[in-house]
Each structure stands twice: as structure tokens, then as C-alpha cells.
Amino acid sequence: MHTDPDTLFERLWESYRQVTPSAERIHKILGAEEGQAIVNDHIALRTFNLDPVRLDALAEHFLSLGYRQGGEYHFEAKKLYARHYEHPSLELPKVFISELLVEQCSPELQSVVKRLVEQVRPEAVAADDFLYSGRHWQVDYGTYRELMKESEYAAWMAAWGYRANHFTVSINHLDQFRSVPEINQLLKAHGYKVNASGGEVKGSPEDLLEQSSTMADRVPVAFADQTVTIPSCFYEFALRYPKPDGQLYSGFVAASADKIFESTNAGS
């Protein structure tokens, strides 16, 4: 486990950046427009609900840094469960961790995923670098395709393993851009594809959270048998509104999250 959150987030960004060239470019564009550092609202991690890699084991890395558990979110159709974590020091990014409810999936998917997870050493999960350690298993492209038919999430996990699947720019901390549509316009002007599932702006002021995201980059990944270009990670943007007590809402919105998961879908 890391003892310093800044180092953990730097390492997570480094591993994310390596497979998400658009995030680094957009980060630079925004940084140049703003003339100040870009603040992260949150990051997200994915896993399977099997020992030793279940959500709780990933969360332990943040609890040991003083993070506390926030809300819970259910995604019945996608067979996912998620929780968010936040730190009392509000400048640290929130963390959204989800897990695939493997027992609800087909026997075929279950046996593939169990075979992958069996290859993860329990000691590796507690190690400093686990959250950005990538894949701990061999998987061939045919298996990835099979998983994809049933769960885009399972296929993504099989290909990419442990890494942040997105970082999220806090629009509240920007000066030149005040709304999600303005950000979406900037993204499109630079040729990036905005996730349009459920609309390009997810959530509303009534939800206290508005979000948008790019569609994941497509980069080559080395499967056990061949190298193929597939969706990697994406960049997200979030604008939070104050609750009646004046504090910014710090939770997530399940209906919006449900669509944001689709930013890593293979599409047409």
C-alpha cells in the first residue's frame, strides 16, 4: 500500500496516460487554455467480485490513505456493483470502484474469469503497485471476443487488468470553461468523440452532477496469441452543484454512471 496519495495518483496517471494518448493531449489543451493546473474530480477502477481481487481489496489501498466509504450504486443489467470513496481533505480525487457480479453471469464466462483471477497472487494485490499493475494473466484474443459477447466490462478487464480506466477533470476548478456543453464543444473541435449514450450531457443540476466523457482511445494490446487494437481508457469531465447545506455534492449518479461505463464499448 502507498503511504502518500500524491505518489499513488501520479503512478495511476502514468499508467493511464501510456494507453490513453487523447487524455494527455486534452489535458495539455485545457492546461494551456487555463494557465493553471487541472484538478481531478475522480478516477475509476474496475474488478471482478472474486477473491483476492474483489472491490474491498482495491478499496483497502484508499482506506489506508484515510479515504472513507461513500455511496453504493447498482447496475442490474450490466451485473455490476460499485461504491465511491472520498477523502476528508477535499482536494484529493474521489474514487469510484466497480466489480462484476460474476456469479450472475453464464457458466462459460464464470469459468473464464475464474481462470484469469486464479493467476493473481494474493500478495500482489496488497503491493504498492497493484492498482496500476495491469494484467496478471494470459488471455488470447478469441477469449476476449467471447467475453465481449456477454459483457463489454469483462472483456475490458481481461484485456487491461488493473489501471485507472479514466481520470476526470473537475469543471468546478476551471476558469475558461463553465459547463459540460462548452467542454464537449472543445473536445469535438479537436476531433474527439464524445460518448453520446443517453445524451452527451449526463445528469442535470437537479441530480447535482453533470458529466461527459470521450469515447475510449483505441490502442494495440498484446494478447497471448496476437496484438490487436481495441478500446483502452477515456477522459471524463464533471461539474458538481451545491447541496442545500452549501457543500458540493460528492456522490455519483447511477443513471449517468450506467452510460459512462459504455465509453469503453467497442461500438460499430
Is residue 213 within 8 A of residue 166, CB to CB? The reply is: yes
Question: Which residue lies nearer to ligand OOG by CB, 36 or 69?
Answer: 69
Q: Is 99 exposed, middle or buried (0-12, 13-18, 19+ CB in 10 A)?
A: buried
Q: Which stretch binds ligand OOG (CB under 6 A): 32-40, 138-146, 223-231, 256-264?
A: 256-264
Contact 248, 172 (CB under 8 A): yes
Terminal CA-CA length for the chain: 40
Subset of residues 193 to 212 that bind ligand OOG, contact rule: CB under 6 A:
211
When binding is defined by CB under 6 A, the residue of 40, 47, 98, 143 that contacts ligand OOG is: 98
d(CA 265, CA 178): 28
Rounded to an integer, what distance in angstroms lies between the CA atom of residue 209 and that of residue 168? 13
With residues binned 3-state (H G I as helix, E B as strand, rest as coil), the percentages for the chain, rounded to 5, are 40, 25, 35
Phi, psi at residue 155, to the nearest 5°?
-65, -45
96 makes contact with ligand OOG (CB under 6 A) = yes
State which residue, 69 or 227, has the beta carbon closest to ligand OOG: 69
Q: Which is nearer to Ni ion, 120 or 233 (CB)?
A: 233
Does 237 bind ligand OOG (CB under 6 A)? Our answer is no
Q: Does 235 bind ligand OOG (CB under 6 A)?
A: no
46 counts as binding ligand OOG under rule CB under 6 A: yes
State the residues that interact with Ni ion by CB under 5 A.
44, 236
State the residues that interact with ligand OOG by CB under 6 A.
44, 46, 96, 98, 165, 211, 236, 252, 256-257, 260-261
